[in-house]
Structure 1
Amino acid sequence: MNAETELELVVAAAAQAAADVRLLELRSPDGAELPAWSAGAHIDLLLDDGLVRQYSLCGDPADRGRWQVAVLREPESRGGSAHVHDKLGAGDPIRARGPRNHFELEPAAAYVFVAGGIGITPILPMLAAADAAGADWRLHYGGRTRGSMAFVDDLVARHGDRVVICPQDETGLLDLNRIVTTRPPGALLYACGPAPLLDALETACAPMPTGTLRTERFTALDADPDAVSAGFEIELADSGQVLQVPPDKSILEVLEEADIEILSSCREGTCGTCETGVQSGTIDHRDALLTNEERAANDVMFICVSRAAPGCPRLVLDR
């Protein structure tokens, strides 16, 4: 079973994990094991009216009988979080795809985890994985208020002073510069949360060795005002077919117009569903997923947003 397979699941339980955060437990209707996953993975939930949304798995990877996701009700929801909060309850059927993981926990002797709000969800299984590996770690968890922050009581009960809880109305914003500069030597930083938090962390980590910071974003990167979207060709390696990608269309749109089946979801470079291998050509990466090292490898792209680099006339894709 691969990440593109649709699974028919059932909501086994639903509960409030915090104000505006709903926790769903998903199981197979016949009790069958669910696909294996590792810390940092997410799944697609296929909701009504063609909505597809990605949510991080926040349970125990060793428990193959259930998946858990926690969903924040977004004030300006495009329909996904409102559907989860208002329409899904225990016993309801739900379709899912995945899991996928673009936020793997790399081996290290020490970690510093930074979570903002619902960004705690992919971090939870990472804490367990770090414990299992015998690594040193600390979590800095910020949010608007203590009541808005899911899993706080359980985290403190389980891990004590290794968890630093920072509700903004009590302690102010996370002191990111201090978090970065006081981390143990060689520690990797893993962070998930709102864009301003991650942007500030990237700035704070700029003097650090490449690869020190790993992030997962729930929203697309801001468009580069200097980016040029010129036309170029794509060649599909399997068939040799060549298609023209005009400046105002994505590779994904061109493939869809040519009736070439390809799985996609977010269309903004955040979910990883449309990941495509690249055999030749230079990529202009515009996603929010790849690390700088992965971009430099120039062997994979997310075709909903990324393009051929300026001056590259053709990309040869693994299609």
Structure 2
Amino acid sequence: MAKAIKAVSTIVSKVEDLGHDTKRFTLVDQDDWELPPFRPGAHIDVHLGNGLVRTYSLCNEPDDDRRYVIAVKREREGRGGSSFLHDCVEVGQPISVSLPRGGIVPNPAGTNVFVAGGIGVTPFISVIRHLERRGQSNYALHWTSRGLPILRDMIVPAIEAGRVRLYDTTKQAQPVVAEIVGDFAGSGLAACCGPAPMLKAFEDAVSAWPEDRKHIEMFTPPKVPARSDVPPYELYLSASKKLATVTPDVGLLGTLDALGVEVPVSCGGGICGACRTRWTEGPPIHRDRVLSPAERQNELIVCVGDCAGQRLVLDL
């Protein structure tokens, strides 16, 4: 039995070439119905055919409920998803996407500080538009880019109001992340999305902060070891009543694939959440960067998951 994958049928209503190897895609219901709701900064998995699934942040705000807007930068050294969208996707083309998931919950009382590098600004654009629509100004965005940033047209009021600090790294040094977030150590929410050095600096700066006051979005998953370091364990799928042994050379995801179980996988590195699956017996080993401690009590990101015991039971 394959896992039921909820999907939303959309069509591409607009494709905008923004320059700098970036395109913006607008997806709508073919009959202009409202699309499933989402939180600010949520993600969708875009199904591109031939098993290719990629995850992108929604740029528009939740109140803009008749479209999904994503911005995609061509990653020439990537895994093919961005190139497919740039080269093959046109207006009028049908595209299946997942239900939106995740997102960022702004702090209603304290200040929200967002640190972004380049295209990493996409989830924060959604949050900022959400806050601006509600007349809330308790945030600051620090945004680095090479030259003028793309997508700035989506947050013009915020820029004009002085709530966005732009850093052109062709003319000035990278900002010191620890200094940006340091003023908010006592209260508020800090979030970051950008290249690896920026994320590392951010993680170091907020390492002692409570988990519910820091948020990290990653472009690229960490490298996953080819071989698991966990001893073999029994895997039982309670819905399909399938049983197998997970060995270090095959791993959990490879075993599910061998059993013919369809689990949506996008990043393959534990950062997008596409393959989150309910578990009922374990305990599992969590290596993801997605689930909260509470969510880990009953969910597992299987692309990087394992079992710390002799038996793992998944609701598949």
Give the TM-score range, shorter chain.
0.7 to 0.9
Deviation at 1:289, TM superposition (A): 1.6
Tell me what 1:187 maps to: 188
Query: What is the CA RMSD across the aligned residues, in angstroms?
Result: 2.6
In structure 1, C-alpha distance between the alignment counterparts of 2:299 and 2:42, rounded to whole Å: 19
Q: Which segments of 5 or more consecutive residues in structure 2 lack a partner in the other structure?
A: none
Tell me what 1:138 maps to: 140
In structure 2, C-alpha distance between the alignment counterparts of 1:165 and 1:5, rounded to whole Å: 39
8 Å CA contact 2:224–2:269 kept in 1: the answer is: no
Tell me what 2:80 maps to: 79
Deviation at 1:181, TM superposition (A): 0.8
TM-score by length of 2: 0.88
Tell me what 2:310 maps to: 313
Tell me what 1:44 maps to: 45
In structure 1, C-alpha distance between the alignment counterparts of 2:225 and 2:263, rounded to whole Å: 26
CA-to-aligned-CA distance 1:265-307 (integer Å, 9 cap, x gap) = 332222212111122322221223224x347x43211111111
Q: Kindly provide the amino acid, as one letter, of the partner of residue 268 in structure 2.
A: R
Q: Which deviates further from its counterpart, 218-227 or 127-136?
A: 218-227
Tell me what 2:102 maps to: 102
Q: Which segments of 5 or more consecutive residues in structure 1 lack a partner in the other structure?
A: none
Deviation at 1:167, TM superposition (A): 1.8
Tell me what 1:169 maps to: 170
Distance 1:241 1:53, change over 3 A: closer
Q: Kindly provide the amino acid, as one letter, of the partner of residue 7 in structure 2.
A: E
In structure 2, C-alpha distance between the alignment counterparts of 1:236 and 1:155, rounded to whole Å: 46
Query: Partner of 2:99: helix, strand, or coil?
Result: strand
Deviation at 1:24, TM superposition (A): 0.9
Tell me what 2:276 maps to: 275
Aligned residues: 310
In structure 1, C-alpha distance between the alignment counterparts of 2:135 and 2:315, rounded to whole Å: 36
CA-to-aligned-CA distance 1:17-43 (integer Å, 9 cap, x gap) = 342110111122222222211112111
Q: Kindly provide the amino acid, as one letter, of the partner of residue 100 in structure 2.
A: R
Distance 1:103 1:56, change over 3 A: same
8 Å CA contact 1:45–1:53 kept in 2: the answer is: yes
Q: Does 1:260 align with 2:264?
A: no
Tell me what 2:233 maps to: 232
Q: Kindly provide the amino acid, as one letter, of the partner of residue 272 in structure 2.
A: C
Q: Kindly provide the amino acid, as one letter, of the partner of residue 137 in structure 1.
A: Y
CA-to-aligned-CA distance 1:26-80 (integer Å, 9 cap, x gap) = 1222222222111121112222443221111101321222111100011213222
Q: Kindly provide the amino acid, as one letter, of the partner of residue 145 in structure 1.
A: G
In structure 1, C-alpha distance between the alignment counterparts of 2:141 and 2:91, rounded to whole Å: 32
Query: Partner of 2:212: helix, strand, or coil?
Result: coil
Q: Does 1:301 align with 2:291?
A: no
Query: Partner of 2:171: helix, strand, or coil?
Result: helix
Q: Runs of 4+ in structure 1 displaced over 4 angstroms?
A: 223-227
TM-score by length of 1: 0.87
8 Å CA contact 1:40–1:101 kept in 2: the answer is: no
Distance 1:63 1:157, change over 3 A: closer
Q: Which deviates further from its counterpart, 222-231 or 95-104?
A: 222-231
8 Å CA contact 1:108–1:188 kept in 2: the answer is: no
In structure 2, C-alpha distance between the alignment counterparts of 1:8 and 1:240, rounded to whole Å: 31
Deviation at 1:241, TM superposition (A): 4.1
